[in-house]
Structure 1
Amino acid sequence: MAEQHEYATAVDDYLTRAYDGDRRRALLDHGGWDPGLAAEAADLGWYALAVPEDRGGLGASLSDLGAVFEQYGRHLVIGPQLENSLLPALVEGVEADGKGVPAALVDPGAGDGSGDLGTVALTGERLTGSVGAVRFAAQADRFVVLAGEAVCLVDAVAPGVHVEALDSADPATAFARVELDAVVPDRVLTGDGRVPALSAWARLLLACELSGLARGALERTVEHVGQREQFGRPIGSFQAVQHIAADMHARSTGLHNLCLAAVADAAGASPAELDLLAWTAKAHAAEAAVAVCEDAIQLHGGMGFTTESDVSWYYRRALALRGWYGDEVELRQRVGAALLDGGRRT
């Protein structure tokens, strides 16, 4: 736990110095990808945190990434933090790139559970299918493709790979459509529960990032209501404003505690327990972070909707992450089904 907070403090200190409001807003307004920032993060060793030492990483646990991802959310960091942190840690053959060039996770199940992202099948030695939204696919030099229970490593320029960049409503993420036409993967990994583990840890780390978004929106709102004056005094002195701010603090603090507890428990969890932890944390984060950001906009008034205000960017980012790997509606249904199934077995 101490190391987890040391890593998070180091990330916070750097972002406070080098990722100020002007730089953050400029990058958020230009597509969600900046090779310079990705290279900085790689040079600082952020992407190698959870990579085993025998593969050149720092050997931290995936649980240690929870507090780090909260800082990514709190500072509204753009880029492939999830892919560059998670894939080298869990997938043999994917290394933490020294310049921050990402591997893209081609996962048909990454959406909201509706199945609209597409399908991918591994037939014999060839991959066929398409996924309609893949994070940072156009910037990646390799793909990690999930096909059933197989994890397939594919060169981004391999024959049969087609990538089409898409417009993105997420200010911190670039998206593309990926089509695979009888592609021969460089490597196929099966067994050991890699596919569900990737999905579960993606949900946990996104929940932590949403927690950071809630905290960042709260901090900026507290600062605003302490400075903004009406009727000769700060609006933060009005009881109605205080009630909303108190609700924001309660949601943010509760989400923070839940996320850190979930990633800590995940370290020794069975596959079924890991799924349940991930569904629970992501479901609550999807709802709580958006609610905090909505209250932040309300307390900022009309300026809260403008791009000059940070809270508008927090809100847009929270909405984008809300449905990625399931929103609160879908994931609560999964939690309920799992608990009912467990009750029937006992």
Structure 2
Amino acid sequence: METSLPEHIREFGRVAHHRFATLGGPQESSLPAERDGSLRELAAAALAEIGATELDVRNDAEDRLAGAVVARAAGAVLLPYPVVDDLMAIDGARLSLVDPRIPRVDHGDLAGPWLLADLDGIAYTATLGPRHPAKLGPFLVRATDLSPVNTVPRADLALHLIMQSWRILGALERALEITCDHVKARTQFGKTLSEFQFVRFTVADASVTLRGLEELAKFSLSRWAPATDAIGWTDALMLKIKAAEAGIQLMRTSHQLLGALGFCDESDISVIDRHLQPALRLPESVEALALRLAPEVGAGHVETLFS
């Protein structure tokens, strides 16, 4: 079975990655953006320059694939901007998925209209406060005064989860690349870390996990449709759970192999880990998503080789 993306989509992804990389990556762009908000305007300009702002990910299959590779490229360079929320905008308002009990919006201090929605499909307007930089999720903003206004189709919620998972995939691939470079260069007891069997097995496990996540991301995106049914919703939940679990596992592996260096902002691993936390943990935790998935499994909405 051919699972490769079309060549022109892959080329668009390479163009997006190259353009985003000109901003500098975690050390030169994302980390300084914690202190200088104007740097995020450069990210917005880069998205507009490559045509990402014109993608209609809901109604055009090719645009949907292009949106996925843009999200992946943004994750790979840790672009300090809510790319997925922009791609999923409704009537010009960025769409952000939140838990209404503890509403937090990543990059919610950016100018422009926002529409918040929970996983039950209830949409809210809200007051987004100023950013209070923190080590984990440095661009998170608290939302207050939530007011229900309408509903968001389940298909939009599913596609948002899928696109966010593509962004997570890009960031994790970059983290694994950094970790591999480190174990190839770091010498311990007279040989590089990559020569130790435990290290090789650990990196191999992480690599297999990411390849599995990539295939699941392609599968889920290919099955999404504007009239998403219960099976499509289940696909999105399963993908987001897999992406979050892979992220938690791989970042733990990276920290283990880099040691103390992985917790210093001089290392891209530290910056990736801190900035990726909102994508991994919002709108709900892995455990909460699993509770939503359980009834779908019982109802027969999970398709497997043995369905």
- What is the TM-score with the length of structure 2 in the denominator? 0.83
2:110 to 124, 139, 146: 139
* Residue 15 (structure 1) aligned with residue 20 (structure 2): yes
Q: Shift of the alpha carbon at 1:239?
A: 1.3
Larger Cα Rg: Structure 1 or Structure 2?
Answer: 1
Distance 1:21 1:195 in 2: 34
User: Which residue does the alignment assign to 1:70?
Assistant: 72
- What is the TM-score with the length of structure 1 in the denominator? 0.74
Within a 5 Å distance, the mapping from 1:1-346 to structure 2 comes to 1-2=5-6, 3-27=8-32, 29-30=34-35, 34-50=40-56, 60-87=62-89, 91=90, 93-94=91-92, 103-105=93-95, 110-111=98-99, 115-117=100-102, 132-146=103-117, 162-169=127-134, 170-171=136-137, 173-179=139-145, 194-267=152-225, 270-342=228-300
Q: Shift of the alpha carbon at 1:295?
A: 0.3
Contact 1:206 1:321 survives alignment (8 Å)? yes
Q: Shift of the alpha carbon at 1:63?
A: 3.8
- Deviation string for 1:291-346 (max 9, x for gaps)? 11110111111111111111112222333222213332222222221121238xxx
Q: Shift of the alpha carbon at 1:146?
A: 4.5
Distance 2:212 2:121 in 1: 35
Q: Shift of the alpha carbon at 1:86?
A: 1.2
SS of the aligned residue for 2:130 comes to strand
Identity of aligned residues (%): 22
What amino acid is the match of 2:29?
Answer: R
Q: Shift of the alpha carbon at 1:243?
A: 1.4
What amino acid is the match of 2:258?
Answer: H
Distance 1:59 1:277 in 2: 17
Distance 1:51 1:294 in 2: 33
Distance 2:46 2:253 in 1: 33
Distance 1:137 1:331 in 2: 23
SS of the aligned residue for 1:138 comes to coil
Using a 3 Å threshold, how does the CA distance of structure 1 residues 31 and 201 change in structure 2: closer, same or farther? farther
Distance 1:21 1:342 in 2: 42
What amino acid is the match of 1:270?
Answer: T
Contact 2:245 2:286 survives alignment (8 Å)? yes
Runs of 4+ in 1 over 4 A off after TM superposition: 145-152, 168-172
Q: Shift of the alpha carbon at 1:165?
A: 1.5
Using a 3 Å threshold, how does the CA distance of structure 1 residues 6 and 106 change in structure 2: closer, same or farther? closer
Structure 2: gaps (5+ residues): 302-307
- Deviation string for 1:195-218 (max 9, x for gaps)? 322221111111111111221111
Contact 2:88 2:95 survives alignment (8 Å)? no
Aligned residues: 294
Distance 1:269 1:296 in 2: 39
Instruction: Kindly report the root-mean-square deviation, in angstroms, between the aligned alpha carbons of the 2 structures.
Output: 3.1
- Deviation string for 1:184-241 (max 9, x for gaps)? xxxx876xxx432222111111111111122111100111111111233221111121
Structure 1: gaps (5+ residues): 95-102, 118-131, 155-160
Contact 2:121 2:157 survives alignment (8 Å)? no
What amino acid is the match of 1:116?
Answer: R
Using a 3 Å threshold, how does the CA distance of structure 1 residues 106 and 205 change in structure 2: closer, same or farther? closer
SS of the aligned residue for 2:22 comes to helix
Using a 3 Å threshold, how does the CA distance of structure 1 residues 51 and 254 change in structure 2: closer, same or farther? closer
